[in-house]
Structure 1
Amino acid sequence: MSLTSPTRRKPRTLALELVEALGDRIRDGRLAPGDKLPTEAAIMGEFQVSRTVVREAISKLQASGQVETRHGIGTFVIGLGDAPGFKIGPEQYSTLRDVIAVLELRIGVETEAAALAAQRRTPANLAAMRQALDAVAQAVDEGRDAVSADFQFHLEIARATQNSHFADMMATLGSSIIPRARLAQAEGLNEPMSDERLQYLRRVNGEHESIFDAISAGDADAARAAMRTHLANSRERRRRAQQAEGR
């Protein structure tokens, strides 16, 4: 894609066009949270713009909360920024009741996403899901909680629907939708992991594997059922914890 035309445009106009082009990639998942943006030189070459234009565009993306620059490392995507639309803020994950409410939303959205993914997934989608699942398994084996890789697996399913709205919603929600993200500090998960917790995480990943198998097989009904089972199990675990707390 080139931003040049026979009519010479001002750098500011080019910068706004570049912001829109890069923003589109963030919104449709081609550039996901955590991804590193191409180098200035690569962007200059692809879009045929000056370094000044690139730096102004990056500055605007930073101001809107879509990217952040880490000195000496590069610029990374952090989210959809200030774009209007549905959001759930951190304060809405503050209690077990909140976590259960988000899980109910996810059951409604992700069960259908899994079915669509089974029908539309590409080999690249399957490879990305497999990579995320392998990362979860490795983290568990190393005694880590694997929240990031867990979220990545669910995000890759949303992308495999080939419907950008599913991926946009997941990216907007972020990794906080994984219940363990909210509960980690409260449950002392920075301490050495107990055998009971390791077994729990392996059960969770077994549920992930069932979802993946159904999507890989192209079985929409099985994928829908496996996702519903996975999220309903998580909801019931939180309900039991809520009852134990007497809330």
Structure 2
Amino acid sequence: MIEGHPQQPKRRAEILVARLSQYIRDGVLKRGEKLPPEVEIASNEGFSRSVVREAILRLQAAGLVETRRSVGTFIIDMPPPQELRLGPESITTLEEVLHLLELRISLEVDTAAMAARNRTDGELADIQQALQAMKEPDPRKPGIAIHADFQFHLRIARASGNRYMFDIMKHLGTKLIPRTQMNSAYVSNEDRLTYLEQVHHEHDSIFGAIAMQSPESARAAMYLHLNNSRERLRRAHMAKLSPYHAE
């Protein structure tokens, strides 16, 4: 049932995990069915039985298969898509931007606490560098402040010590930062400068808590910043549409 393919320059167990996951996505292997025996997978795919066992252990850890003693290994879930579909084409409305901020709240609040607990002096210096670049952007380089804002949050994720936090943040990219929507929402330059002053103050609080290695303070500062970002964006757009609807 399972046909062999030429190996790629990756670790063999990872190759086999990716291959079996794709078979499940494609319906070659279906939820509820039992995987072929180890010896059959090894023969068909061109791997040793030890590699097959390692791959199955990884699928178990991911919650995709379940091994029942003396019965076999059964497929119990569908693998996620290979790519997280959160590109610019999928985030086009105010509601979608607000939903993304809610995702960030659930993700970054604990990330900040972990960064306060785990960060190194070098990682703290990297976060501070992004903070300074955000406050003093080069006027000759449009978008540099947005990039620095993203780097500030990305470097906090790296300092958390959890590579999955970092990978998710890196994948989302600068679309995490609602600054472009805010810039277009504010009519006057004075309103925009007030907004930037508030954002810088919130970032300073996050950095200070991480510098002091206070997880609870970092958690509170990140929540305040992201929640405020959500409310500022919502109110600015409502005010732009109709001043009578602004809160």
* Contact 1:148–1:175 (8 Å) recurs in 2: yes
Q: Distance in 1 between matches of 2:102 and 2:202?
A: 17
Identity between Structure 1 and Structure 2 (%): 43
Q: Distance in 1 between matches of 2:83 and 2:210?
A: 29
Q: Post-superposition shift, 1:92?
A: 2.6
Flag the structure with more relative contact order, 1 or 2, with Cα contacts below 8 A and sequence separation at least 6. 1
Verify: 1:177 aligned to 2:176, yes or no: yes
TM normalised by structure 1 equals 0.60
**Counterpart residue number, 2:92:** 94
Verify: 1:123 aligned to 2:116, yes or no: no
Q: Post-superposition shift, 1:91?
A: 2.3
* Contact 1:140–1:202 (8 Å) recurs in 2: no
Match of 1:222 among 212, 217, 223: 217
Q: Distance in 1 between matches of 2:147 and 2:108?
A: 17
Match of 2:9 among 16, 38, 43: 16
Q: Distance in 1 between matches of 2:164 and 2:155?
A: 13
**Counterpart residue number, 1:213:** 208
Change (3 A) 1:130 1:158: same
**Counterpart residue number, 1:35:** none
Q: Post-superposition shift, 1:238?
A: 1.6
* Contact 1:215–1:223 (8 Å) recurs in 2: yes
Deviations 1:104-140 (A, max 9, x none): 0000000000000000000111010000001011118
* Contact 2:185–2:236 (8 Å) recurs in 1: no
Counterpart residue identity of residue 240, structure 1:
R
Match of 1:231 among 222, 226, 235: 226
Q: Post-superposition shift, 1:103?
A: 0.4
1:226 alignment partner, SS class = helix
Where structure 1 has 5 or more consecutive residues not aligned to the other structure, the ranges are 1-11, 19-82
**Counterpart residue number, 1:162:** 161
Q: Distance in 1 between matches of 2:102 and 2:127?
A: 23
Count of residue pairs brought into register by the alignment: 167
* Contact 1:140–1:198 (8 Å) recurs in 2: no
TM normalised by structure 2 equals 0.60
Q: Post-superposition shift, 1:242?
A: 4.0
- Indicate the larger mover: 224-233 or 131-140: 131-140
* Contact 1:113–1:158 (8 Å) recurs in 2: yes
Counterpart residue identity of residue 111, structure 2:
A
Deviations 1:155-184 (A, max 9, x none): 000000111000000011000110123455
Counterpart residue identity of residue 9, structure 2:
L
Q: Distance in 1 between matches of 2:193 and 2:237?
A: 21
Counterpart residue identity of residue 171, structure 1:
K
Counterpart residue identity of residue 137, structure 1:
K
Q: Distance in 1 between matches of 2:97 and 2:223?
A: 16
* Contact 2:182–2:236 (8 Å) recurs in 1: no
1:55-94 map, 5 Å: 84-94=82-92
Q: Distance in 2 between matches of 1:133 and 1:220?
A: 19
1:16 alignment partner, SS class = coil
RMSD between aligned alpha carbons? Answer: 2.9
Q: Distance in 2 between matches of 1:196 and 1:239?
A: 15
Counterpart residue identity of residue 159, structure 2:
A
**Counterpart residue number, 1:57:** none
Q: Distance in 2 between matches of 1:226 and 1:144?
A: 28
